[in-house]
C-alpha cells in the first residue's frame, strides 16, 4: 500500500508518569542508603521482598502477558540458587558475582526445556512445567557432591565480614528489583512488548496479524528464567544455605499466584502492589499461625471475585494513573482525546 | 508482473469427525478482482478462509500464493507474505487502543519500520472511519466498530490478498455503501479481495465474480448476477433467511 497519509503525533509519557518515575528514582536512592543506618533484620526483609518481587515480575510476564501459566518457575529459582552454590563453593567465583551467573545458568537450561514444554498447551503446559521442576529437584537430591537431599551451606562466604556481606547482598537486591521492574517495562514498551500484549489479548489474531507467537513466547520464557534465576541466586545468597526442597519446592507458586493475582495480573504495577500487600500481611499476621494462611486465602478469594483484575486493575480502571505507561497516545485534531 | 493467479486453492478438503466442512474446493483469484463467497450458514465459508490464512490445516489439497505452495506455512508467515484477514467474530486486542491494534498489524504483518507503520495506521484509520476513535481501548468498542477494526487491521498488514469475513452484517444501508466504496478503492490499488457476505446487495455492488458454497462444496461460480439468479442457487437459499434482492 502506498503511504500517503501524514504521520500521527504519538506520545508515550504523561506528566503524571514523569512524576512517578522521579518518585521511583528517589525511592530507589533512599533505599540504597539503608546499609548505612538500617538494622540488618530490615535489610534482610528488603532482600526477601526484592526476590519475591523479581520472581513475581517474571511470572507476570509469563502468565499475564505470554499466557504461559507456569507452575514450575521454581525450576529456575532453584537452578539459579544451585548455580550460585556450585560456582561460589566449588569454582571459587566471587559469590556476589554469581547472582547474574545463576541467572545465566537458569536461562541456559530454559532453552532446551522450552522445546519440551512448548509442545504442551494450556493446562498440560502448566503440569509439564511442574514436572520439569520436580525432575530437577530429584536430580539435585541425588547428587552427593552437592549434599544430596540435605543440601549444603554457602561456605564461600566464610571470611567475608558480616557487614560487608549484608550490605553488598542488599545492594544487589535493590539492583535486581530495579533491573527486573525496569527490564520488564523496557521490554513491554518495545516492539516485542506490543507483540506480547497482543498475544495476551488474542493469540489467534496476533498470529494472523504477522506476530511470530512461538518465537515471542520463547524469548519471554528464557528471559523469565534468567530473571528468576538471578532472584533464586540472591535468595540463597541471603539464606546462606540451599537444599533441593527449598530450591525446587512448590511453595513458591501459591506466593506468586497471591502477589500477581491480588496486585493485578498483566500490569507492571500489579506485582509491586501484590508483593507489598503480602509482606504487610505477613508482618502483622505471622504470629497467628495457621490463621495467617486462612486470612491470606480469604483475601485472595475476595479480590479474585470482586476485583478479578486485581487491586491495581481496579485503580487503573477508575483513574488514568499509570506509573509505567505503555500506551501510544495519538495527539491529533482528528482524534478524540 | 503480478503472478497469475495470485492465489490458488487447489482441491482442499476438511472434515471435523464425520462432518465434511470443505469438500474438494478449488478457486483462484487475481490482483484487482473481488471474489464474493456466498452460502448458507454452516456452508464452510469461514473454514475456507481459515485454510487460506493457515488457522486450520486442510486434510487434503494445497494453497498457493503467487505460485508458491504455502500450505505448510504458519499464519504469521502467510500474513507477512501478503494474506490479510478479518475475523467474522471480531478478535480485537482488547487491552490495546484502536491505533495500537493497527500498529501491530503494520509492524509485524506489514514488516514496516516505526515511522512507516505510523503512517500506515493514519491511512488505514482514515479509510475505515476509525480515526476519531484511535485512542479508544479496542475492548470498549461497539460491535460495528469492532468490525471496522477487523477491516482496518487486515488492511494494516499491507496485504496483496484481503480476506473479509462478513464485515457488512448489521450495518445500515448507508454504512454498507461506505464499506462497498472502501472495498472498491482497495481493489483499484491492485489488491485481490475475497469477501464472504450475507448482505448480497453489498457484495453484488463490487464483486467481479462470485462462488457459492453449500455443505462444504462449491456449487456455482461465475458472473455475480447470473450466479445469484441460477435455479440451483435459488434453491439453496430458499427458506434461508438471506436477502437476495438483486438490484443491478
Ligand atoms: N473447529 C471445529 N470443530 C468442529 N466443527 C466445526 C469447527 N469449525 C467449524 N465447524 C463446523 O463446520 C461447519 C462450517 O463452519 P463455517 O464456520 O466454516 O461455516 P460458515 O459458512 O462460515 O457459516 P456462517 O455463515 O454461519 O458463518 C459448521 O457446521 C461448523 O459447526
Ligand atoms: Mg462464517
* A172-222 pLDDT tens trace: 999 999 999 999 999 998 999 999 999 989 999 999 999 999 999 999 999
Q: How far apart are CA A186 and CA A207, in angstroms?
A: 23
Q: Are residues B127 and B77 in the same domain?
A: no
Q: Is residue A276 part of a domain?
A: no
**CATH number of the domain that residue B199 is part of:** 3.40.50.300
Query: How is residue B108 written as a grid cell?
Result: 509485524
B14 touches ligand 1 (CB under 6 Å) = no
Q: Which of B19, B25, B47, B169 to mutate to test the pocket of ligand 1 (most atoms within 8 A of CB)?
A: B47
Q: Are residues B3 and B45 in the same domain?
A: yes
Q: Does residue A3 register a pLDDT over 60?
A: no
The packing angle between helices A162-188 and A213-239, to 10°, is 170
Answer left, alpha or beta for residue B216, where phi above 0 means left and psi between -120 and 50 means alpha.
left
What residues make up the domain containing A25?
A: 12-250
Find the B12 Cα to ligand 1 centroid distance in Å.
Answer: 15
A–B CB contacts, 8 A cutoff, strictly below = 135
Strands A9-11 and B68-69, bridge-based pairing: unpaired
Q: Per CB distance under 8 Å, which residues of A are interface residues toward B?
A: 1-8, 10, 191, 194-195, 197-198, 200-202, 204-214, 266, 327-330, 332, 334-337
Give the gap in angstroms from C-alpha A326 to the nearest C-alpha of chain B.
10
Mean pLDDT of chain A: 89
Q: Is residue B153 part of a domain?
A: yes
Report in angstroms the alpha-carbon separations of B59 from A154, A168, A335, B16, B20: 58, 61, 46, 10, 10
Burial degree of A122 (CB within 10 A; 0-12, 13-18, 19+) = exposed
The predicted model scores a pTM of 0.89
CB within 8 Å: B122 and A7: yes
Q: Are residues B42 and B103 in the same domain?
A: no
Query: How is residue A138 written as a grid cell?
Result: 530429584
Q: Is residue B240 part of a domain?
A: yes
Residues 6 or more apart whose CB falls under 8 angstroms from that of A298 comprise none
Contact at 8 Å (CB) between A151 and A246?
A: yes
E-strand ranges in chain A read 9-11, 152-153, 241-242, 329-331
B32 touches ligand 1 (CB under 6 Å) = no
Q: Is residue B184 part of a domain?
A: no
Least confident of A72-86, A110-124, A219-233, B146-160: A110-124
Q: Are residues B71 and B95 in the same domain?
A: no
Q: Are residues B68 and B2 in the same domain?
A: yes
Residues pairing with B29 in the sheet: B7
Q: Is residue A126 part of a domain?
A: yes
CA diameter of chain B: 53
- B115 near A CB under 8 A: yes
Query: How is residue A73 written as a grid cell?
Result: 518457575
**Collapsed DSSP state (helix, strand, coil) of residue A317:** helix
Q: Is residue B131 part of a domain?
A: yes
What residues make up the domain containing B124?
A: 83-158
Residues 6 or more apart whose CB falls under 8 angstroms from that of A280 comprise none
CB within 8 Å: A1 and B123: yes
Rounded to the nearest angstrom, the gap between the alpha carbon of residue A113 and the centroid of all alpha carbons in its chain is: 19
Q: Are residues B111 and B63 in the same domain?
A: no
Q: Are residues B108 and B142 in the same domain?
A: yes
Q: Are residues B68 and B6 in the same domain?
A: yes
Q: Is residue B174 part of a domain?
A: no
Q: Is residue A110 part of a domain?
A: yes
Q: Are residues B77 and B2 in the same domain?
A: yes
> How high is the pLDDT of residue B219?
92
Q: Is residue A272 part of a domain?
A: no
C-alpha closest to that of A180 among A301, A267, A53, A279: A53
> How high is the pLDDT of residue B248?
37
Residue A111: other Cβ atoms inside 10 A: 12
Q: Are residues B31 and B59 in the same domain?
A: yes
- The average pLDDT across A37-59 equals 93
Whole-complex ipTM: 0.91
Query: How is residue A229 written as a grid cell?
Result: 534465576
Q: How far apart are CA A17 and CA B215, in angstroms?
A: 56
Q: Is residue A278 part of a domain?
A: no
| Number of structural domains found in chain B | 2
Q: Is residue A243 part of a domain?
A: yes
Residues of chain B with pLDDT under 50: 239, 241, 243-248
pLDDT in tens, B169-211: 888 888 889 899 999 999 999 999 999 998 888 999 999 999 9
Q: How far apart are CA A182 and CA B214, in angstroms?
A: 55
Q: How far apart are CA B209 and CA B222, in angstroms?
A: 5
> How high is the pLDDT of residue A5?
56
Q: How far apart are CA A309 and CA A317, in angstroms?
A: 9
Q: Is residue A167 part of a domain?
A: yes
Q: Long-range contacts made by residues A95-99, C-beta under 8 angstroms, separation at least 24? A: A95/A154, A95/A156, A95/A157, A95/A160, A95/A237, A96/A168, A96/A169, A96/A172, A96/A237, A98/A233, A98/A237, A99/A172, A99/A176, A99/A230, A99/A233, A99/A234, A99/A237
Using CB atoms and an 8 Å cut-off, which of residues 167-206 of chain B contact chain A?
189, 191
CB within 8 Å: B108 and A209: yes
Q: Is residue B115 part of a domain?
A: yes
Residues 6 or more apart whose CB falls under 8 angstroms from that of B205 comprise B177, B180
Strands B19-29 and B34-38, bridge-based pairing: unpaired
| Number of structural domains found in chain A | 1
> How high is the pLDDT of residue B206?
93
Amino acid at each position: 500500500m502506498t503511504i500517503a497519509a501524514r504521520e500521527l503525533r504519538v506520545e508515550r509519557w504523561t506528566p503524571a508518569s514523569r512524576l512517578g518515575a522521579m518518585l521511583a528514582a528517589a525511592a530507589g536512592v533512599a533505599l540504597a542508603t539503608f546499609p548505612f543506618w538500617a538494622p540488618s533484620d530490615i535489610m534482610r526483609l528488603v532482600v526477601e521482598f526484592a526476590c519475591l518481587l523479581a520472581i513475581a515480575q517474571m511470572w507476570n510476564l509469563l502468565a499475564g502477558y505470554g499466557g504461559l501459566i507456569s507452575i514450575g518457575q521454581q525450576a529456575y529459582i532453584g537452578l539459579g540458587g544451585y548455580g550460585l552454590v556450585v560456582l561460589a563453593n566449588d569454582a571459587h567465583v566471587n559469590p556476589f558475582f554469581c547472582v547474574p551467573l545463576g541467572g545465566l545458568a537458569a536461562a541456559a537450561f530454559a532453552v532446551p526445556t522450552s522445546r519440551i514444554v512448548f509442545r504442551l498447551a494450556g493446562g498440560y503446559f502448566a503440569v509439564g512445567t511442574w514436572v520439569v521442576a520436580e525432575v530437577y529437584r530429584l536430580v539435585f537430591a541425588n547428587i552427593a557432591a552437592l549434599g544430596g537431599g540435605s543440601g549444603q551451606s554457602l561456605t564461600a562466604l566464610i571470611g567475608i565480614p558480616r557487614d560487608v556481606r549484608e550490605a553488598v547482598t542488599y545492594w544487589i537486591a535493590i539492583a535486581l528489583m530495579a533491573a527486573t521492574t525496569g527490564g520488564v517495562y523496557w521490554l513491554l514498551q518495545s516492539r516485542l512488548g506490543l507483540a506480547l500484549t497482543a498475544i495476551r489479548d488474542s493469540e489467534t489474531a496476533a498470529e494472523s496479524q504477522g506476530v511470530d507467537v512461538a518465537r515471542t513466547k520463547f524469548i519471554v520464557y528464557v528471559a523469565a528464567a534468567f530473571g528468576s534465576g538471578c532472584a533464586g541466586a540472591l535468595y540463597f545468597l541471603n539464606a546462606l544455605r540451599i537444599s533441593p526442597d527449598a530450591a525446587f519446592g512448590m511453595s513458591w507458586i501459591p506466593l506468586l499466584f497471591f502477589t500477581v493475582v491480588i496486585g493485578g495480573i498483566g500490569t507492571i504495577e500489579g506485582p509491586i502492589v501484590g508483593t507489598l500487600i503480602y509482606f504487610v500481611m505477613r508482618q502483622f499476621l505471622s504470629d497467628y499461625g495457621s490463621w495467617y494462611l486462612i486470612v491470606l486465602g480469604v483475601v485472595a478469594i475476595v479480590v479474585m471475585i470482586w476485583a478479578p483484575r486485581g487491586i491495581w486493575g481496579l485503580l487503573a480502571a477508575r483513574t488514568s494513573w499509570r506509573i509505567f505507561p505503555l500506551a501510544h497516545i495519538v495527539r491529533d485534531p482528528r482524534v478524540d482525546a | 508482473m503480478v503472478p497469475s493467479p495470485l492465489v490458488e486453492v487447489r482441491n482442499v478438503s476438511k472434515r471435523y469427525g464425520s462432518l465434511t466442512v470443505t469438500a474438494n474446493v478449488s478457486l483462484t483469484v487475481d490482483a484487482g478482482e473481488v471474489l464474493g463467497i456466498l452460502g448458507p450458514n454452516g456452508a464452510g465459508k469461514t473454514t475456507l478462509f481459515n485454510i487460506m490464512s493457515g488457522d486450520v490445516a486442510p486434510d487434503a489439497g494445497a494453497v498457493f500464493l503467487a505460485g508458491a505452495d504455502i500450505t505448510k506455512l504458519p499464519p504469521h508467515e502467510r500474513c507477512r507474505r501478503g494474506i490479510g484477514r478479518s475475523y467474522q467474530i471480531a478478535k480485537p486486542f482488547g487491552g490495546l487502543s484502536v491505533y495500537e491494534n493497527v500498529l501491530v498489524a503494520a509492524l509485524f504483518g506489514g514488516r514496516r519500520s516505526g515511522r512507516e507503520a505510523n503512517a500506515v495506521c493514519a491511512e488505514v484509520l482514515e479509510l475505515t472511519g476509525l480515526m476519531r476513535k484511535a485512542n479508544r481501548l479496542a475492548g470498549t468498542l461497539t460491535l460495528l466498530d469492532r468490525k471496522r477494526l477487523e477491516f482496518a487491521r487486515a488492511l494494516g498488514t499491507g496485504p496483496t490478498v484481503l480476506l473479509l469475513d462478513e464485515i457488512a452484517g448489521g450495518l445500515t444501508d448507508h454504512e454498507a455503501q461506505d464499506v462497498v466504496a472502501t472495498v472498491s478503492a482497495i481493489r483499484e490499488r491492485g489488491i485481490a479481495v475475497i469477501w464472504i457476505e450475507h448482505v448480497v446487495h453489498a457484495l453484488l455492488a463490487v464483486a467481479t465474480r462470485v462462488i457459492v458454497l453449500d455443505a462444504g462444496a462449491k456449487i456455482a461460480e461465475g458472473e455475480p448476477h447470473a450466479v445469484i439468479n441460477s435455479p440451483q442457487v435459488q434453491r439453496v437459499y430458499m427458506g434461508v433467511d438471506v436477502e437476495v434482492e438483486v438490484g443491478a
